[in-house]
Amino acid sequence: MRRVRWLWHRMASAMRLLFPLLVAALACAPSPAKAAVPSQGRRLTIVAINDTHGALLEVAAPKWIASSTESEIGGADWFGGYLEAIRAEAKEHGGAVIVLDAGDAFQGTLISNRFQGRSVTDVYNALGVTAAALGNHEFDFGIPVLKERIAQARYPILAANVFLKGTRQRPDWLRPSTIVDAGGIRVGIIGLATVETPLTTNPALIAGIDFVEGGAVAAQEADLLRSRGATVVVISAHAGPGPPENEIQRIAEAVRGKVDAIASGHHHVSIGPPPLVVENVPIVQSGSKLQAFSVIELALDANGRVTSFAVNEGSLPRSGGPQAILHTYRGQPAQWRGRRIEPDARVAAILRSYDREVRALRETLVGETRVDLRKGSGNDLLGNLTSDALRSGAGGGLKAQFALQNAGGLRISEIPAGPITFGQIFDLYPFDNEQVVVSLRAIEVRNALEAVLHHGKGPMRVSGLRYSIDWEKFGAGSDPKGAPDGAIVVRMVDDGGRVLCETTSCGRHACQSTCAPGTYTVSVTDFLVSGGDGLTMLQGAPKRSRGILARDIVVAYVKEHRPLTMEVLGASQQPRWTQTGSARRVQMGE
C-alpha cells in the first residue's frame, strides 16, 4: 500500500538521522526493563503529539501515497477518536491516560493563524490535553497573544528553562512544571523549550528572554516534583534529536534516574522502530501536523513507581513507530487494538465552527500551475516561485536585484499541478513576515548564504544569482559550524554569469576570496533582517520596506504569471545552487 510505504520511508529516513544517536545511547544506557504492554498492575498511558502547527483538519494524502480506499490522513477529530479508544482500553484495565503536546501547536494554517491559535486551544481543551511544552513558534503572534492562549487553555503550557534576560527569574506568566492526578497516580510533568528558539523565531518577538540548556533545569525540577509527591515524572520537550547537538539526548542524560519518559518535538521526525531509549528513558516524537501520535505505556508497582515500559506496541503501519492517524487501513475502518475509530463528534463540531469562517478565503482561486511544485534540489520549484516573487515587485512590493528565501520559511513540500488556492499559498507561507530590501556587498550576500548552512537550515533559495556549495574543496564538511567564511559557498554568480564572489584559498581560520565591488539590492523578509536563521550580518544593513506581507507578494505573482510552467519557474535553466560532497550532519528544528 502506497501510504504504508511512504510512512515507512519517512520513519526510515528519521532513523537514518538518528542511527548514530541510537548506537551511542544504547551502548551507554542500561538495558531497559522488557518493553511489552504491561498486563498486571496499574498502567499509565502517555499519548504524545508534537508540532501540530495548526493542522486541525484532515488532509488529502499526497498522490504518491493515496489509494482508492485511503485518501485522507490526520484531523483533530480523528485523533480524538483514537483518544476515546485508548481511554476506553485504559478504563477496562484500571489504568489512566495523560495527553502531552511537545510544542509548536499554533502557527501554520489559516484555521489557526486567522484566530491566533484560539482554534487550536479550543480543540486541545476538547481533546483533554493534559499539558503542553512551549514551542518556539508559540511566540509568533507575540507574547501578549501567548498570554491569552495560556489563559484560555484548560491545561498548562510549560517551560522550565525560560528566564527573564540576564536573570534566573521566570516570567510570571509561565509555569515550569505541574503535578496532575491521573486516576490516583501523581504525575509530575516538566516542560522545556528549545535552546534554538532565538535562531528559529523572530528575535524581535523574544526580546528580554533567555533560553537555557534544559537538562540541569529539568533535573532540579524533577527532584522538586518528587519531593512534592509525584511518583511518576515525565518531560514534554520542544527539543529534538538532530545531530550534532542532540539536544534531547543531553536532556535525557542530565535527568538519568529522575524522569520516566520524554515526549519530544521540534525536528518533525518520526522516531522508531526501534524505540529510542536513552539512560533507560523512552523518548518519542511523531512527525508533525497531527498526522501521527506516539504511545508510551508505563507499568507501575503498588507504590506508583515505574517498573517497565512499552513504546508504540501494536501501532500501525508498523509496531514500534508512531501510530498514523489513519481513517482506514487496508480498506477497512481504522482500529486501535480492536476498537473501531470514529471521529470525535465534539471536536468535529468545533472544527466546523471555525472552518466556516475561513473556508471561502481558503478555497479562493489565485492561479494555476501546469507542473507539480515541490521542494527539492537546486531547481526547487517552490523555492524558485517564492524567491522570484520576492524579487519581482509584484503586489506593490519592492523590486530588487537578488532575493533570498530561507528554506525553513516554506512549510509544505508540494503544490500539485492544477488550480492554486489561497489556502495552499497560506500553508506554504504561513508566517506574517514582511518584505524588506537590504543593500549588501557581494561578500555579505555570500556570507548570508553560508550562515544558514552553518546552522543547518540551508540551502537558501535564491533569485537573480546562482551559487556552488562545496564541502570537500576546503574541508568544510568536517566542521560546518566552525568553517571560515568562504569555505562552504565557493562560487557565486549572477544570472548573466558574472562572478560575484569566488574563494581562491582557505586556511584553518580564514579564506581568501575575490568578490565584485559595489552594493546590491536584496529582497528578504523581516525575519531574516532581524537575525533569524543566524543571519546576523543583515541586522545593520541599510533597508527599505513598504510593510507588505511576503505572502501577499507571492499571491500577486501567482496571479500575474498564471499558468505557472517550467519556463516561468526557471526550471529549464541551470540549477540555482549545486552541492559537492556532504557535511557532518547539522540540523535545526522547525
Please say whether the beta carbons of 563 and 367 come within 8 A: yes
Domain termination residue (choose one: 333, 356, 379): 356
Cα separation, 263 vs 105, whole angstroms: 14
* Residue 281 β-bridge partners: 278
* 236 within domain boundaries: yes
pLDDT in tens, 454-488: 876 679 999 999 999 999 999 888 888 889 999 99
Cα separation, 451 vs 524, whole angstroms: 14
Answer yes or no: do 153 and 28 share one domain.
yes
Q: Find the helix or strand (DSSP H, E) in which 404 lies.
A: strand 402-405
Please say whether the beta carbons of 390 and 463 come within 8 A: yes
The per-residue pLDDT for 61 is: 63
Answer yes or no: do 198 and 253 share one domain.
yes
The per-residue pLDDT for 70 is: 58
Which residues contact residue 376 at a Cβ distance below 8 angstroms, ignoring those fewer than 6 apart? none
Can you read off the three cell numbers belonging to residue 548?
Answer: 507588505
* 587 within domain boundaries: no
Query: pLDDT means per 10 residues in the chain (590 residues)?
Result: 31 36 34 45 95 92 51 92 97 96 96 97 99 97 97 99 97 98 97 93 92 97 98 97 81 97 95 92 95 97 94 88 88 90 98 96 96 84 96 96 94 93 95 95 96 82 96 87 92 96 93 96 95 89 95 97 93 87 66
Answer yes or no: do 201 and 320 share one domain.
yes
Torsion angle of C-alpha atoms 563, 565, 568, 573, degrees rounded to 10: 180
* 409 within domain boundaries: yes
Total domains, the chain:
2
Answer yes or no: do 338 and 439 share one domain.
no
The beta strand positions in 96-176, using DSSP E, are: 96-101, 131-133, 157-158, 162-164
* 422 within domain boundaries: yes
Answer yes or no: do 326 and 455 share one domain.
no
pLDDT in tens, 37-91: 555 579 999 999 999 999 999 987 655 444 545 568 899 999 999 999 999 999 9
Q: State the CATH number of the domain containing residue 413.
A: 3.90.780.10
Answer yes or no: do 414 and 483 share one domain.
yes
Answer yes or no: do 99 and 237 share one domain.
yes
Residue with cell 516542560: 191
Answer yes or no: do 78 and 96 share one domain.
yes
Answer yes or no: do 444 and 346 share one domain.
no
Domain termination residue (choose one: 356, 391, 413): 356
Amino acid at 323: Q
Answer yes or no: do 185 and 260 share one domain.
yes
Please say whether the beta carbons of 79 and 101 come within 8 A: no
Domain termination residue (choose one: 356, 391, 409): 356
Q: State the CATH number of the domain containing residue 14.
A: 3.60.21.10
Answer yes or no: do 409 and 335 share one domain.
no
**What's the whole-model pTM score?**
0.86
The per-residue pLDDT for 5 is: 28
* 590 within domain boundaries: no
* 586 within domain boundaries: no
* 113 within domain boundaries: yes
Give the domain extent around 488: 363-580
Q: Please compute, for residue 361, the number of CA atoms within 13 A of its CA located in the half-sphere on the CB side.
A: 14
Answer yes or no: do 297 and 429 share one domain.
no
* 585 within domain boundaries: no
